[in-house]
Amino acid sequence: MSYFDAASSAPLHPVARQALQASLDEGWADPARLYREGRRARLLLDAAREAAAEAIGCRPDELVFTTSGTRAVHIGIAGTLAGRHRVGRHLIVSAVEHSSVLHSAETHRTQGGTVSEVPVLRTGAVSPDTYAEALRPDTALACLQSANHEVGTEQPVAAVAVACRAAGVPLLVDAAQSLAWGRVEGGWSLLTGSAHKWGGPSGVGLLVVRKGVRYAPQGPADERESGRAPGFENIPGIVAAAASLRAVRAEAAAESARLRELTDRIRARVPELVPDVEVVGDPVRRLPHLLTFSCLYVDGETLLHELDREGFSVSSGSSCTSSTLTPSHVLRAMGVLSEGNVRVSLPLGTPAEEVDRFLDVLPRTVAAVREKLGAPTGAPAVTVVQDDSLVVDALGKRCPIPVIELAKVITDVPVGGTVRVLSDDEAARLDIPAWCEMRGQEYVGEEPTEGGTAYVVRRRAPL
């Protein structure tokens, strides 16, 4: 089995396994106690904190360990907003932040705060100038990930940090995806991470709060971890997390170059091997091990299942794989295709042969899924309104059927004619404009209609 989903959770690094096993025997006691076992546990905890701080580039007393990266985000945002409430209650996030950041922002909004969501370019990156324009006198906190979890695009953290510092606003960086590859540069104020993203054990996160940031821990008081992360420390997990971070950093330079070559190969070959594919995200300013592409006329969930049967574990941001049947907020913010979305994220040590096998398997797998999906049952429900206009009734049909229906009939209208696709699937709002972008057609807009929405497309040229 080829595991290509390191962005979700990286395999446990051998160093983490060794450290975990060793510290189970030494780090079980309460590090707050003064007897021998407690002192031994405290030494392990202090050493892990120093190792993690050195890897991140902060002081050990600025770093606390949490129960997860999500928990680190939640308490980092809540504590900073509370500490700076006299400045104001305005929070800034980018449109492609991790769900933990967006959920925190929604909680802040429901509690009476205000939130500005900075849009992104089609590559998935924010514009530093656009981000700077969102800063206000009442801004208490700004948030920006170091790199996107779904498409791997690196964000201009350093430039945004300059603008935030000039405005006197602390910047929180979700660095979960990038910490394995190096420090986050720039004058950030808070930083979060999650051990299972870099090959450490799950259940360990970290939060860094720079000296000088006004921070007020929320919830009942607790003496552990400077009062910022309550509860008994998971010392074996923390030791393993710090040891694995140090280990992956030692391999980062060589593995970054090797894995970037492999993902560049996938980026280049997939559009050559599979028709109607869009590779999304920044082709250069991106994480070395991660890429995402979307296939037209493919059900994302079916494609993932078929790739799993072929021995490949990949993930997807397609709406078809979501219980809510809504497109990925990242893909939606980027304005790119969400159909048949595949994220490939290679773990350290991935052999080139596995990538070659993936490139061999993918074309026939996509072709089989497309053939299996085919056209909707029976003829498409098309009503001729006039000579140069058609209506496609795709109500009640989920992705990617509305787009398939559109593609089948677009040539039935003359150049300049229109097709109105009726759909009640939220994914159509993203995928029909994205299809037009890919196929050189004009997306006119949407209109409300009984039972759903009419998406209007004008034929621009022969396909």
Give the Cα separation of 83 and 13 in Å (integer): 37
Backbone angles phi, psi at 16, to 5 degrees: -65, -40
Q: Can you give the pLDDT at residue 120?
A: 97
Q: pLDDT tens-digit profile of 149-189?
A: 999 999 999 999 999 999 999 999 999 999 999 999 999 99
Closest alpha carbon to 148 in 119, 174, 185, 122:
174
Asked if 320 is an active-site residue, the reply is yes
User: If DSSP codes are grouped into helix, strand and coil, which group holds residue 154?
Assistant: strand
Question: Quick check: 207 pLDDT over 80?
Answer: yes
Q: Can you give the pLDDT at residue 216?
A: 94
What proportions of the chain, in percent to the nearest 5, are helix, strand and coil?
A: 40, 20, 40
Decide if 50 contacts 245 (C-beta within 8 A). Answer: no
Q: What angle do CA 436, 441, 443 make, to 5 degrees?
A: 65
Backbone angles phi, psi at 399, to 5 degrees: -55, 140
Question: Quick check: 453 pLDDT over 50?
Answer: yes
C-alpha dihedral over 392, 394, 399, 400, to 10 degrees? -30
Q: Can you give the pLDDT at residue 107?
A: 97
The residue to which tokens 């299942």 are assigned = 305
Q: Can you give the pLDDT at residue 381?
A: 45
Q: Can you give the pLDDT at residue 128?
A: 98
Give the Cα separation of 205 and 197 in Å (integer): 10
Which residues sit opposite 454 in a β-bridge? 422, 447
Is the pTM here over 0.85, yes or no? Answer: yes
Of 116-120, 223-227, 359-363, 412-416, the poorest mean pLDDT is in 223-227
Q: pLDDT tens-digit profile of 405-425?
A: 888 888 888 889 999 999 998
The residue to which tokens 């007897």 are assigned = 35
Question: Quick check: 387 pLDDT over 60?
Answer: no
Q: Can you give the pLDDT at residue 12?
A: 97
| Catalytic residue chosen out of the listed positions 58, 164, 295, 320 | 320
